Amino acid sequence: MTTVRREAFGRMPPEEGGGEVEKFVLQSDSVRVEILSFGCIITTLETKDRDGQFSDVVLGFDTLEGYTRKHPFFGAVVGRVANRIANGRFTLDGKEYQLFINNGPNSLHGGAKGFDKVLWSPQVLPNGVRFFRLSPDGEEGYPGDLKVWVTYSLSGRELAINYQAQTSKTTPISLTNHAYFNLAGQGSRDVYDHEISIEADSYLPVDDTKIPTGEVAAVQGTGFDLRQPVELGKHLQKFHLDGFDHNFCLHQGQDRRLVARVFHPPSGRTMEVHTTQPGIQFYTGNNLDGSLKGKGAVTYPKHSAFCLETQNWPDAVNKPHFPNVLLQPGEEYNHTTWLVFSTA
């Protein structure tokens, strides 16, 4: 049985329209998750360790103010296009589109005011909540009126996130949730003792601005071979890596498949990621620097969390040999990611 509760969380600042932000609490026997109508943000995700003790395993803030100020997309749904678009530019049907540049020379996670920074309209479901918004033609430079639905549903140990969209004009779209996890509990110093595996035979090398070069490289014999579990801290040391911020290329197909698994031996907590998406961005919180005060006034230093963002490949709109990122009028964008929590 899943219970769903809604409550007030705060009001947007007057300059942002002053709308009310609600929080939705989804609870099963083994998982408790809190989600805001602002940015579809997962603010809390509590799951049991092997002794049955609950801990909150996602980074975030105690108040709305934390989320309305600048932060690295904690827990939010990002779009219209997750990840980076080179120089914030792409061409469709002979017309060039220019997006807002917010990450070096590139556009990242939807631009200046992406899906993470807006209020969504909520609808309570028996085991979850569905959010809707219309992204108008020209918003952040993207073409077409885009109707978007994001549905969170909780069933036992499994949290499903479904993304659906329809457009009035051809537009690139790639949606993901940008939760930062630490299975030891948020506020723990690092994720070096986590064991991770990713079911990917190839990954995308990037240039110094984190844009894929276009090469699809085999992981075999490199530090990107995570097909067998590795202990993160030791693995970074062994391969002299500063961290990961790379897209791993998943086996193509529309069916649900297991793509990543993280195990935290001290607590026994395990998280599996299943998805229908063609890629997963593995990010180890390299840009966290201890300057943000999070929940319970803890600070979040470098490598104190990891993200596993299921999505299309970065800059796919400019790379014809990458999986198709364009949604046409009359078609439906429909992808689901499942997070499954257990103990070992």
Bind-site residues: 83-84, 178-180, 245
Catalytic positions, written as ranges:
178, 309
The kind and range of the H/E element at 249 are: strand 245-249
Q: What is the DSSP string of 301-335?
A: -TTS-BEEEEESPTTGGG-TTSPP-EE-TT--EEE
Annotation: binding site for beta-D-galactose: 83-84, 178-180, 245
For residue 187, the SS3 value is: coil
Q: Which residue has the tokens 């063609």?
A: 278
For residues 123 and 84, the answer to whether their CB atoms sit within 8 Å is no
How far apart are the C-alpha atoms of 320 and 238, rounded to whole Å? Answer: 35
Kindly calculate the radius of gyration of the chain based on its CA atoms and give it in whole angstroms: 19
For residues 295 and 45, the answer to whether their CB atoms sit within 8 Å is no
**Residue 165 neighbours by CB distance under 10 Å:** 22
Please give the single-letter amino acid code of residue 263. Answer: F
